[in-house]
A and B are shown apart, each in its own frame.
Chain A
Amino acid sequence: KAGVTQTPRYLIKTRGQQVTLSCSPISGHRSVSWYQQTPGQGLQFLFEYFSETQRNKGNFPGRFSGRQFSNSRSEMNVSTLELGDSALYLCASSLAGQGSSYTFGSGTRLTVV
């Protein structure tokens, strides 16, 4: 059974550019969540999608957006990149239900220069 796949693994962008990250969940998982991980702030919740609808959103500026497709694959987009956006971006998928655990991808390491 394939795990959660995130592409690309590494990315270097320049300030002001935009970036799109991709996440393919485990087959059958309809919930996809995104987290930003930095040494200073730890794991911060970005948003969750379920059946193509954003179900919950964290406290990030509007430059951070996402979407989910009918096959449950998800993308997140960051526009007008800032140096502080450098982080490991983690995608996690799960079955529906509060008792379900996440399965995480290996993440996309974004560096903004």
Chain B
Amino acid sequence: AQSVAQPEDQVNVAEGNPLTVKCTYSVSGNPYLFWYVQYPNRGLQFLLKYITGDNLVKGSYGFEAEFNKSQTSFHLKKPSALVSDSALYFCAVRDAWGRGGQNFVFGPGTRLSVLP
């Protein structure tokens, strides 16, 4: 069965500083990995995904994530945080071959607060 862990419930960072939101996963086959962001009273918005190829994936709003197969991690990063980045971030995994189901499995979410 697939699973996703986001070890930090909350991440605080000062505006202008780099940010990292951590994600580790477990999947029986090859993983497809995704990051989504949720603003208050809204649905989730897609940020980026890793399917195959370069381990460093660039996405929307200056975010990037690095796939590390040996550590089964897919941490989300941004070189310089903005106050507007404050939101709830979800990591999600899918098995590339659909084993364990077609659906995404989401992590519990990490609340990012960027302080001015």
Contact = CB atoms under 8 A, between A and B. Distances in A.
B43 A98 contact: no
Interface in A79-113: 90, 92, 98-99, 101-107, 109
B68 interface: no
A55 interface: yes
Contacts of A101: 34, 46, 49
A61 interface: no
Contact of A99 (B41, B51, B105): B51
Nearest to B42: A106
Contacts of B102: 31, 48, 50, 55-56, 98
Nearest to A58: B103
Interface residues of B, number: 26
Interface residues of A, number: 25
Nearest to A44: B106
Interface in A6-65: 6, 31, 33, 35, 42-43, 45, 48, 50, 55-56, 58
Interface of A: 4, 6, 31, 33, 35, 42-43, 45, 48, 50, 55-56, 58, 90, 92, 98-99, 101-107, 109
